[in-house]
Amino acid sequence: MAKKLNIAIIGYGGMGSWHVNLLMKMKEIKLCGIWDIDPIRREEASLKGIFVYSSQQELLEDHNVEAVTIATPNDSHLPISLAVMKAGKHVICEKPVALNSDEVLQMIQCSKEMGVLFTVHQNRRWDEDFLIIKQLYEQQTMGKVFHIESRVHGSRGIPSDWRNQKQHGGGMVLDWGVHLLDQMMRMLGNKKPLSVFAQLTHVTNEAVDDGFRAYFQFEEDLTFFVEVGTSNFISLPRWYIQGENGSAVVHDWNKNGEIVMVSDWEKRDAVPVVTAAGLTKTMAPRTDETVKKYPLPEVTADIQDFYRNIFSCVHEGAQPLIRQEEVLEVMYIMEAIFQSAKENRVVYINERIEK
C-alpha cells in the first residue's frame, strides 16, 4: 500500500472542520481523528464518522499520529504547539501562528530541539487573484512596477467570537493582515520593506482593531499599500498595480479585472475635460487609440499542494513551502504596524527583518 501521512486535528471549529474536509479527500493523508474542548463540536465530528479523542493527551499519546494540525484560537497556539512538538510530532499551525515574535521564536527553538517539522498554514498563497498579480509583477508585464495596492473589504464588522477579543489574539492585523503581508513578501521576493506608516481603525470595536491601513516603502521607489476594512459598504478593488507602461486591476476573488497599457507613446495630446468649475488637461483621459485593454492572465492553484508538501517533508526530506523565517518576518512586520499606529509615526523595519 502507498505510504500515507497520519494527521490529527486539534480544534474542530470553522478552520478545523475545513482541514478535516480537505484531508479526507487526499490519498496521501490518513486522518486519525480530532480533539476539541467543546463537547458540541466533538459530537458533530462523531456524527460524521470522525474519530474523536477523549482528550488532547490521548491524541498526543497516539503513536500512529505523525503530525498535528492546530486550528484553535490564536492565544492557544503556543502552548499547544509546544506540547505537540515535545510529544515528538510535527506541527502544522493555523495563522497567525502566535501573538508576537517572542512566541514564534519559542516555537522555532522547540522544533529544532525536538527535530520535528514546524510550519504554518498560510493558505492564501494559493489564492488565484494573488497569483495573477504576482505573475504581472514578476514578468514586469506593464514595465517597471512602482506601486501595488492590496485590500480586503467587508461591511459586517468583526465576527462576535475570539476575533473581537484582545486576549485571544483578535483584530484584523492578526486575522487578515497576516495573509496580505505574507502575500506581499512572497510577491516581492528578496525585497524587504524599508519602512511603514500605519493606522488602525476602531469603528465597531474598541478592544481590537477592526481594520487598518499600512503604507510600505521598499527600495527602488516601490510602494505597497495594504488595507483591511470591515465597515466598507462599497468595496474598493482587491488589487491595483501600476507600472511605467500601464495599470491592472483585480476587483474581487472571482478574478474580475483587466490590464490597460499604452499602445502609442507619441500621441500625448489630450482633449481637456470640462468640469463644473473649470477644465483640466492634465487629468484628461487618454484617447482610445493610445491605449489597449487586455484580459488578466489565467492561473490555477490547488490548495492540496500545501499538505502534499507536508507529506514530502516528513517522508521524503523535502523543504517546507512555508518556512519558519518567513513566518517570523511577517510577525516582525505586524509588530511594526502596531508600533507605527500607536506612536503615529513612520517605523523603519528593514534592519530587524534582516536579523
Over residues 14-18, the mean pLDDT reads 96
pLDDT digits (tens, 9 = 90+) for 58-68: 999 999 999 99
3-state secondary structure of 92: strand
CA-based nearest residue to 171, from 206, 216, 123: 206
Cα distance between residue 195 and residue 215, in whole Å: 8
Q: How far is CA 49 from CA 21, 32, 157, 269, in A?
A: 12, 11, 35, 70
Residue 264, pLDDT above cutoff 90: no
Residue 9's φ and ψ, nearest 5 degrees, are -120, 130
Sign of dihedral through CA atoms 338, 341, 342, 343?
A: positive
Residue 139, pLDDT above cutoff 70: yes
Domain residue spans in the chain?
5-121, 125-255+296-301+333-348
Cα distance between residue 346 and residue 337, in whole Å: 9
Please give the pLDDT value at position 275.
85
Please give the pLDDT value at position 164.
81
pLDDT digits (tens, 9 = 90+) for 170-218: 899 999 999 999 999 999 998 999 999 999 999 998 889 999 999 999 9
Please give the pLDDT value at position 87.
98
Query: In terms of pLDDT, which residue wins out, 351 or 99?
Result: 99
Cα distance between residue 274 and residue 89, in whole Å: 68
Please give the pLDDT value at position 205.
86
Over residues 143-147, the mean pLDDT reads 97
Residue 255, pLDDT above cutoff 70: yes
Mean pLDDT of the chain: 94
pLDDT digits (tens, 9 = 90+) for 33-88: 999 999 999 999 999 999 999 999 999 999 999 999 999 999 999 999 999 999 99
pLDDT band at residue 353 using 50, 70 and 90 as cut-offs: low
Question: 125-255+296-301+333-348 is classed in which CATH architecture?
Answer: 2-Layer Sandwich (3.30)
3-state secondary structure of 282: coil
Residue 166's φ and ψ, nearest 5 degrees, are -60, -40
State the burial class of residue 299 (Cβ atoms within 10 Å of its Cβ: 0-12, 13-18, 19+): middle
- Global pTM reads 0.94
pLDDT digits (tens, 9 = 90+) for 285-316: 888 889 999 999 999 999 999 999 999 999 99
Pick the CATH number of 5-121 from 3.40.50.720, 3.40.50.2020, 3.40.640.10, 3.40.50.1100: 3.40.50.720
* Distance separating the N- and C-terminal Cα atoms of the chain: 45
